[in-house]
Amino acid sequence: MARRFTRGRRSPAVVGAAAMSVVLVACAGPAESSDGPGSSTAAPGDSGRVVIVGDRGIYLECRGTGSPTVVLVSGTGGASDEWTDAVDPADPGAGPEPSGAAVLPTVASFTRVCAYDRPGTTRDDGTPSPSTPVPQPTTAQAGVSDLRAVLAAAGERAPYVLVGASWGAMIVALFARTDFPQVSGLVTVDGASEFLRGTLTSDQWSDWMHKIGEMDPTKGLEVPDYETSVDEIRAAPPMPHLLPAAVLTSDKPWDLRVGSSGSTWPAWLAAQDRLADELHARHITDTGSGHGVNVEQPRVVSNAVREVVDRARG
């Protein structure tokens, strides 16, 4: 449930264990003075920069103009290039490469869009993000706090259409509940949800949590704490009313591969159905993709985002 399995750098088992990162798409918007909190190391107009939030730096990239602003949040360990890269259909084994057909540049053609690097994420070329590392594991609430802070520090204005892939969907879900007045739409891209704790068998959930617990937090790589994050989402107030929403689900079976308790694919699909029902969302299941829909089939994601943006504007 992270992003990099399309490159072959991470096996689906590690993807499931580390699962689900977040990226916000590229931002060319206003930057603050570099004299204090909320400052940037690059001049206004630069598409990508490190924004200073408190005593840390968070890389943010934004492009395009218009409202609402689309915020792209990637899966575990995934940096912002998850939304600027795509797989070449003619050579899918080569892995994602920078592409004008990727989600971020496509969305930038019709509205403002931003992506950021969470702490502990890596680029497609294997280099670490310039975002300042933090102690791991991390939670959805920590992701919301960072997202809120970096958007404010960079001067990116609400309303936001939030797009969460894999683990990023957990952050998006909590942000929509805690910061509801700033949100005008939601899109999840084969996203994780609190429903997985109920659709996976108890053995599968236990195996998955055990696999995550085996990850070494001293290496600085992002490690999501799902147990705590599910509790955070369930404790948050519900959204006061429904928003325009779309749920995209992979249609090429994949598996968390975290134990010997059977395939997790049926439970994943059941959780997707429950998420779509909760959001009263359009459920897009003919994605022609495995878990990494945003890099494998970026047009499917961009079209869903455009539809939600149009409904939010209406």
Record the tokens describing residue 261, joined without a space.
């308790």
Dihedral (Cα; 23, 227, 136, 221), 10-degree rounding:
-50
Dihedral sign, Cα of residue 146, residue 71, residue 194, residue 256: negative
| Joined tokens for residue 68 | 């609402």
Give the per-residue pLDDT at 92.
79
Task: Evaluate if residue 236 carries a pLDDT over 60.
Answer: yes
| pLDDT tens per residue across span 130-142 | 999 999 999 999 9
Domains of the chain, CATH where assigned? 4-313 (3.40.50.1820)
Look at 36-40, 61-65, 107-111, 258-262 and tell me which has the smallest mean pLDDT: 36-40
Average pLDDT of span 71-80: 97
Poorest-pLDDT segment among 72-86, 205-219, 280-294: 205-219
pTM: 0.88
Tokens of 226: 């799902």
Query: Using one digit for the tens of pLDDT, what is the confidence trace for 273-304?
Result: 999 999 999 999 999 999 999 999 999 999 99
C-alpha span between 18 and 170 (Å, rounded): 14
Closest CA to 72 of 147, 14, 1: 147
| Residue 257 CA: distances (Å) to CA of 23, 69, 87, 216, 307 | 24, 36, 24, 19, 34
Strand ranges in 100-153 using DSSP code E only, listed in sequence order: 113-116
Task: Output the average pLDDT for the chain.
Answer: 87
Give tens-digit pLDDT for 171-197: 999 999 999 999 999 999 999 999 999
Half-sphere exposure of 306 (CA within 13 A, CB side): 14
| DSSP secondary structure code for residue 217 in this structure | G
Query: What proportion of the chain, given as a percentage, has pLDDT over 90?
Result: 78
Q: Each residue of 24-47: pLDDT tens digit?
A: 222 333 333 333 333 333 333 347
Rg (CA), the chain: 17
Residue 1 confidence class, pLDDT cut points 50, 70, 90: low
Residue 40: predicted pLDDT: 34
Instruction: Give the model's pLDDT for residue 296.
Output: 96
Mean pLDDT, residues 213-220: 87
pLDDT recorded at residue 95: 86
Phi, psi of 257 (to 5 degrees): 50, 55
Residue 15 clears pLDDT 80, i.e. is over it: no
